[in-house]
Structure 1
Amino acid sequence: MKRAAAIGMVLPCLLLVVISSHAQKKNFTFEQIFKNGESNVTQQLPLVKGWADDTHFLLVQKEADGKSITTMVDVKTGKSVPYPNVDMGQLQPPVVVSGAINITVSPDKKWAAYTRKDNNLYVLQIDINKETQLTTDGSSTILNGYASWVYYEEILGRATRYKAFWWSADSKRICFMRFDESQVPVFPIYVADGQHGYLENTRYPKAGDKNPEVKIGIVSINPGETVWADFNAKDDQYFGTPVWSPDGQLWVQWMNRKQNNLKFYNIDLTNGSKKEVYDENQPTWIDLDESERITFLSAGKGCIVKSDRDGWENLYHYDNNGQLKNAITAGNFWGTSIIKIDEKAGVVYFRARKENSARFDLYKAGLNGKGLTRLSFGDFSHDIVSVSPNGNYFITAYSNLNTPPAMALVDAKKGQIVREVANSKGANFGDFNLPKNDLKYVPSADGLFSLPVVITYPINFDPTKKYPVLISIYGGPNAGTVYDRWRPAVSPTQWWAQEGMIQVSFDNRSSGHFGKKGLNYIFRQLGKYEIEDYMACGRWLKKQPWVDSNKLCITGGSFGGYMTCMALTYGADVFPYGIANSSVTDWQFYDTHYTERFMNTPQDNPEGYKSTSVLTYADKYKGLLRIVHGTSDDNVHMQNSIVLINKLEDLKKHFEFMAYPGERHGFMGAKGVHSRYEAYKFYYQNLLEKPMPAIFWAPEAQRGF
């Protein structure tokens, strides 16, 4: 009895301590969130530069003066010593050629290749500064080594900066793509500069249009003769990034217009003849993009091919002739990427999502398909990983939604953490109120999928109160946004948590969480299942006792803008508010390669295009949608928003519209600040129902957040 009485006296005291401790924490200021004011809540983790040898790794971290210092750390003792930075003076100075585009130095450092505005390919012999022109037929519609827009955007990738040429390992040849755009329709973009303005014309193939004709050339830099690979440029086809093997083979990725048949061809460098070494077919589509698909092993030992042909992203070992030796992995892997190949040990190290589709882990497997092992630990997403040369150790930077990133050295053989290398918690981490995050799962309407949802609760969340909800989405195929990883503490998310707003992101069945099985649902009906899944999540939210069901606002850009428009029309009974940025509104207005991958052509699938168009459901619109677009968007043309505006006006619907003159697909500088400012004002007015704080109106604030 006495002990119970003592406990009875202690518990209130403990509760008082907890409440007192919580009350002492503070919120972030406007300057800290929007103007990079100092808070010391988190700090940047060092960068893992690699390994000096089997037992020493290299770290790069910034000093107080902003300079970077590299240290070499002993895995056994943890002691670090300065590691000499490379003397930049000993390196070959950058090659500078007036008017050159995409200057790329050869592997032997003796040559530089580039294109010019005449759309021809050139090389420079660096030591004697001698330029040689390798092609001569470049024009406004013939592009040699410089990508046509649809290849840059959808196949080769934006990181290439339109570069479409590749050096061989021996520096003797260059493979390049030649584009003939003469039959690709021109899309005019009006630019309102000057008294009369002008038209910016882009060769942009919309769904069902003629694509550029492409030839694959292999040019010898000396004497400069070109061999053309044996493909008919008139065929309806696509080419992926060519790959040079260590022993000098050139493999070209080819795909049909429907994008359901992928082939690799080994090209004879002397006469251009081709030999098929890989053939993959799928009933829906196959992605042809800039991600790693072929990884060659050392000369003569074949390659590793990544494919989702079994419904998941698995690795396969092929010989040099394209014959399958064995599957390396067989499981529900997604987001698979090779980290390291130890050919001597016959082991592949790779990162993928499997144990939890919202987290990345490190695995190893034998090239022979045996010995699959998860190497990473805990309920964390391991987002940066570096494996030692002998595979005995690895460094991982890991986190989850409620644990800030830390970096650890791990004994790969024992599966044990050797020591923590760094932690992102700053000196003041415990001094501030941070919102709680939850990863939950909501059943889809058809009961086939458990859809992942991340919820960020307001500071001092009270489950007996009702809160407005801000939903940020994207929704595009294999482009999920829900991950169990730390989100920056000092960000606008923190501001809205302090202001009493619930913030949510959710993913649909095509997001990658459910592999190709989930993705295949959207074939020929891009947008239908995605919005149905979002509506299921929205309905679930509205049933929660702490949600104000009349104050759900959904927002996104590009595909997320399309989803937002669909939410306010097709899903009008669920979503009352939305801000749609740079939105597709009808798939007939977007480019061939992206759109037809999922939808086929409008000629082949007219009903699919109609059933996924926002315009089809405009009459259901009843909430408040803000439509936002840049007038010079050369990716998702403003045409998309204009046709929706036209439709809503004809239906006598009220909406808001914000145009950004001269802006592309995403707003920078002052226009970007204005766009965010106007979105914040929308949230205050319609969700929080109170005036925007005066600090936002200050001129210095408008310049900075």
Structure 2
Amino acid sequence: MNNLKLSFLFCLFISSISIAQTKEITLEDIWKNRTFSTEHMDVLHSMANGQQYSVLNFNRVERSTSIDIYDYKTLEKVKTLVSSANLDEIPYFTNYTFSDDETMVLLATEEEAIFRRSSLGKYFVYNVKTKTLQSVSDFKIQEPTFSPNGKFIAYGYQNNLYYKNLETDEVTQITFDGKKNEIINGITDWVYEEEFSFVRAFDWNSGSNKIAFIRFDETNVPEFSMDVYGNTLYQTQHVFKYPKAGEANALVSLHIFDAETGKTEEVKVNKAYNDFYIPRIKWTNNPDVLSAQYMNRHQNELDLWFVNAAKNTSNLVLAETDKAYIDVTFNLTFLKDNSFIWTSEKDGYNHIYHYDKTGKLINQVTKGNWEVTDYYGFDEKTKTIFYQSVENGSINRDVYSIKLNGRNKKRLTKTEGTNQAAFSADFSYFINTFSSATTPYEYTLNSASSGNLIKSIKDNDKLSQKLADYKTSKKEFSTIHVNGNDLNMWMIKPADFDENKKYPLFMYQYSGPGSQQVANRWNSANDYWYQMLAQKGYIIVCVDGRGTGFKGANFKKVTQNELGKYEVEDQIAAAKKLGELPYIDASRIGIWGWSFGGFMSSNCLFKGNDVFKMAIAVAPVTSWRFYDTIYTERYMTTPQENPTGYDENSPINHVDKLKGDFLLVHGTADDNVHAQNAMRLTEALIQANKQFDWAMYPDKNHGIYGGNTRLHLYTKMSNFIDENLGDKIEEPKKEIKENTSKIKG
């Protein structure tokens, strides 16, 4: 009887496993029900004592937010610093920032997005000692920032710069000429925000008595307008300054405001610049010395200036040049002696350098045929630098330590995948965020000296258990050799893959300069979509071609002046080689991409019309003449200088080659890649009498999201794939030639 019972239970267990493993991913799971969402640590901040950290927590029951303090050693919650449940003025807050001495916290509320990085919001200062709340302003402002002494907050409002005395509530207006679409003070214009990736264009000095800021004169920048259809009888227009390639940029100037005298002086450096950018400003440890980076319009010359505000003098301390372009980073750190740490690609790979305060090179700290991908900080006590790199393979990320003199390098993370560190203020600990293609995010406490695991903080085991119920496939990493290069690749096959059958191939890529899509990290929403497609019988592949990142400057910059030439050649060549595999149906190969990837997929279908049967292009650039100055000219110079580079690789000029099926998608309120791109390509296709499908999403920006939008979009794309690639999987043929030796992995 007992044996019969055990046998029954075993059969029931096996049956439940087989049922569980056949559950299929749906678009509703991905885009509506958030079935595969992951746990995170939000707004992590290391407290100044080095022994505690804070995070932002959301209480779903009370619908309130709180800043909670935890102990590094025990990982136990020490206290709740502040909760919106106890604040009458704030139902909840969405972000927080400490003053330097951590006696006050700036709480962000009612935030509303402007563009990709910029937002407006109402802000309150919470006094930790008195537990009182103070409003920064009665209206929505931008980028409020504590002074180092915590007595003031500077912010932007309606294109002017202000600061508030928190002790007296007195507000001082610093600039007065701000005007929409003409003058901006202390906040970046659209193109700086998008391409130099910052919004706050002002900075306090360490003495809390001076503010340096950049002024943007947009008067001569051409305007772009977008209709906003909304729900009313008449549409409105959004009009903003957008400098397209070859057109006028905002005129920038650097200024220093002295709070003690109330005067503002324009900074003049000892070099005549014609058309230039100021992509970074940062005060040194000396309260009178400001660092400012100046860059020519071609972005192949970068000058680092030290400006002495007291003496009104400037000194050029570092000048870099490159045949192609120089990437601007935030990796500038001043040490106590005002020597500085800097990252550069000047030896062909991105590495860390140490210079003295005059700009004389002390030493190159890191070396090798690999890239430093992040700089975490410098421990003055141990003279140790902490950083992230791809030394352990370009698809992986590890955390390292190294002495300032370049010796005693240690790999601190042990597990292969993507590791990212957040160090304690005293560099005794770091919280490591780890994920891989097989492991969702794990948060662990580690020793900064050895990297050894101390304790687990948070994992996503529940998600892993949930995914075990679904029919999923492994993401297989390898390389494919085309056009003389070994290109990183991943492949997802159907879970019931049979090498004796032939499958349609669907390729994804982005391909933009310095980008990476083939990386050993946890799933994005698109990865679940690829799993869904694999369930239907597709093989999905992604290849990072020439021009992508983390394999050295030469590999990345080979596309200079020819965006879309070599990248398209690599995708076409990869598709041809993959089509030779016995289990891939070469007559059914499709490709898709978004933004730069949409530019690529369009070109691949047109130029590779004998290879690709279909393509989907979402929010594509269709001519680089339509895109902004900073991004486009970095890689292409201007259209006036390089007309053939712009036109020979524009999909608009290759519509006559279209043979396959094409789906074009765009949002009408895309402030980044304007819907103009889709309209001009559409007109060219019409005049070439080429049939195609398209979808315009009203009032949606470059991300095309909100409500059911993503669900609708991915349903449309999935249906298009099924209609054009999704015939029944071929049954095996009698003779199959093995042809996998050409692909490594």
After the TM superposition, which residues 190-205 of structure 1 pair with which residues of structure 2 at under 5 Å, given as runs? Answer: 190-192=227-229, 197=235, 199-205=237-243
1: CA distance between counterparts of 2:306 and 2:637? 29
Q: 1:176 matched to which residue of 2?
A: 213
2: CA distance between counterparts of 1:135 and 1:93? 24
2: CA distance between counterparts of 1:113 and 1:46? 28
What secondary structure, in the 3-state scheme, does the structure 2 residue paired with 1:598 have?
Answer: helix
1:90 CA drift (Å): 3.9
Q: 2:391 matched to which residue of 1?
A: 354
> Counterpart amino acid of 2:649?
T
Per-residue displacement from partner, 1:110-156 (whole Å, max 9, x unpaired)?
Answer: 22222332x22222223332222222222341222232222222124
**1:468–1:68 CA distance, 2 compared to 1 (3 A):** farther
Q: 2:357 matched to which residue of 1?
A: 320
Is the 2:244–2:629 contact (alpha carbons within 8 Å) kept by the matching residues of 1?
yes
1: CA distance between counterparts of 2:656 and 2:150? 62
> Counterpart amino acid of 2:366?
T
> Counterpart amino acid of 1:250?
L
Structure 1 position 239 matched with structure 2 position 235 = no
Is the 1:179–1:212 contact (alpha carbons within 8 Å) kept by the matching residues of 2?
yes
Q: 1:604 matched to which residue of 2?
A: 641
**1:588–1:134 CA distance, 2 compared to 1 (3 A):** same
1:494 CA drift (Å): 3.3
Structure 1 counterpart of 2:461, from 425, 430, 442:
425
Is the 2:278–2:293 contact (alpha carbons within 8 Å) kept by the matching residues of 1?
yes
Is the 1:311–1:515 contact (alpha carbons within 8 Å) kept by the matching residues of 2?
yes
Q: 1:470 matched to which residue of 2?
A: 506
> Counterpart amino acid of 2:679?
I
2: CA distance between counterparts of 1:196 and 1:55? 58
Q: 2:81 matched to which residue of 1?
A: 86
1:314 CA drift (Å): 0.3
2: CA distance between counterparts of 1:156 and 1:441? 32
Is the 2:507–2:592 contact (alpha carbons within 8 Å) kept by the matching residues of 1?
yes
**1:464–1:307 CA distance, 2 compared to 1 (3 A):** same
Per-residue displacement from partner, 1:373-419 (whole Å, max 9, x unpaired)?
Answer: 2222243221x324456666544332322334444455565665456
Per-residue displacement from partner, 1:296-349 (whole Å, max 9, x unpaired)?
Answer: 123x24110011111111000111222111111112332521223111111101
2: CA distance between counterparts of 1:550 and 1:235? 54
Structure 2 counterpart of 1:25, from 17, 21, 33:
21
Q: 1:524 matched to which residue of 2?
A: 561
> Counterpart amino acid of 2:283?
W
Structure 1 position 108 matched with structure 2 position 168 = no
Is the 2:72–2:445 contact (alpha carbons within 8 Å) kept by the matching residues of 1?
no
Q: 1:460 matched to which residue of 2?
A: 496
What secondary structure, in the 3-state scheme, does the structure 2 residue paired with 1:616 have?
Answer: helix
**1:689–1:93 CA distance, 2 compared to 1 (3 A):** farther
Is the 2:69–2:80 contact (alpha carbons within 8 Å) kept by the matching residues of 1?
no
2: CA distance between counterparts of 1:167 and 1:52? 20
**1:144–1:533 CA distance, 2 compared to 1 (3 A):** same
Structure 1 counterpart of 2:307, from 259, 267, 271:
267
Q: 2:699 matched to which residue of 1?
A: 662
1:270 CA drift (Å): 3.4
Is the 2:351–2:365 contact (alpha carbons within 8 Å) kept by the matching residues of 1?
yes
Q: 1:6 matched to which residue of 2?
A: none
Q: 1:210 matched to which residue of 2?
A: 248
Q: 1:135 matched to which residue of 2?
A: 175
Q: 2:549 matched to which residue of 1?
A: 512
**1:45–1:180 CA distance, 2 compared to 1 (3 A):** closer
Q: 1:3 matched to which residue of 2?
A: none
Structure 1: gaps (5+ residues)? 1-13, 691-705
Is the 1:42–1:424 contact (alpha carbons within 8 Å) kept by the matching residues of 2?
no
1:428 CA drift (Å): 4.6
Is the 2:48–2:425 contact (alpha carbons within 8 Å) kept by the matching residues of 1?
no
> Counterpart amino acid of 1:124?
K
1:502 CA drift (Å): 2.1
Per-residue displacement from partner, 1:547-592 (whole Å, max 9, x unpaired)?
Answer: 2323322222111111111111122222221111111111111111
1: CA distance between counterparts of 2:404 and 2:171? 45
1: CA distance between counterparts of 2:368 and 2:389? 11
**1:478–1:321 CA distance, 2 compared to 1 (3 A):** same
Is the 1:123–1:221 contact (alpha carbons within 8 Å) kept by the matching residues of 2?
no
Per-residue displacement from partner, 1:345-364 (whole Å, max 9, x unpaired)?
Answer: 11101111122000001111
Structure 2 counterpart of 1:222, from 251, 260, 285:
260
Is the 2:400–2:411 contact (alpha carbons within 8 Å) kept by the matching residues of 1?
yes
Structure 2: gaps (5+ residues)? 1-9, 84-125, 729-745
- Out of 514-523 and 97-106, give the one that drifted further: 97-106
> Counterpart amino acid of 1:150?
V
Q: 2:536 matched to which residue of 1?
A: 499
1:642 CA drift (Å): 1.8
- TM-score when normalising by structure 2: 0.81
After the TM superposition, which residues 58-457 of structure 1 pair with which residues of structure 2 at under 5 Å, given as runs? Answer: 72=70, 80-87=75-82, 90-91=127-128, 93-98=134-139, 100-117=141-158, 119-139=159-179, 140-157=181-198, 160=199, 163-192=200-229, 197=235, 199-231=237-269, 235-248=274-287, 249-270=289-310, 272-288=312-328, 291-298=329-336, 300-382=337-419, 384-387=420-423, 394-410=430-446, 416-417=452-453, 420-426=456-462, 427-428=465-466, 430-445=468-483, 447=484, 449-457=485-493
Q: 1:486 matched to which residue of 2?
A: 522
Q: 2:656 matched to which residue of 1?
A: 619
Is the 1:52–1:58 contact (alpha carbons within 8 Å) kept by the matching residues of 2?
no
Is the 1:364–1:373 contact (alpha carbons within 8 Å) kept by the matching residues of 2?
yes
What secondary structure, in the 3-state scheme, does the structure 1 residue paired with 2:490 have?
Answer: strand
**1:612–1:341 CA distance, 2 compared to 1 (3 A):** same
What secondary structure, in the 3-state scheme, does the structure 2 residue paired with 1:86 have?
Answer: strand
Q: 1:558 matched to which residue of 2?
A: 595
- TM-score when normalising by structure 1: 0.86
2: CA distance between counterparts of 1:607 and 1:542? 32
Q: How many residues align?
A: 662
**1:531–1:180 CA distance, 2 compared to 1 (3 A):** same
**1:542–1:372 CA distance, 2 compared to 1 (3 A):** same
After the TM superposition, which residues 576-655 of structure 1 pair with which residues of structure 2 at under 5 Å, given as runs? Answer: 576-655=613-692
1: CA distance between counterparts of 2:455 and 2:161? 52
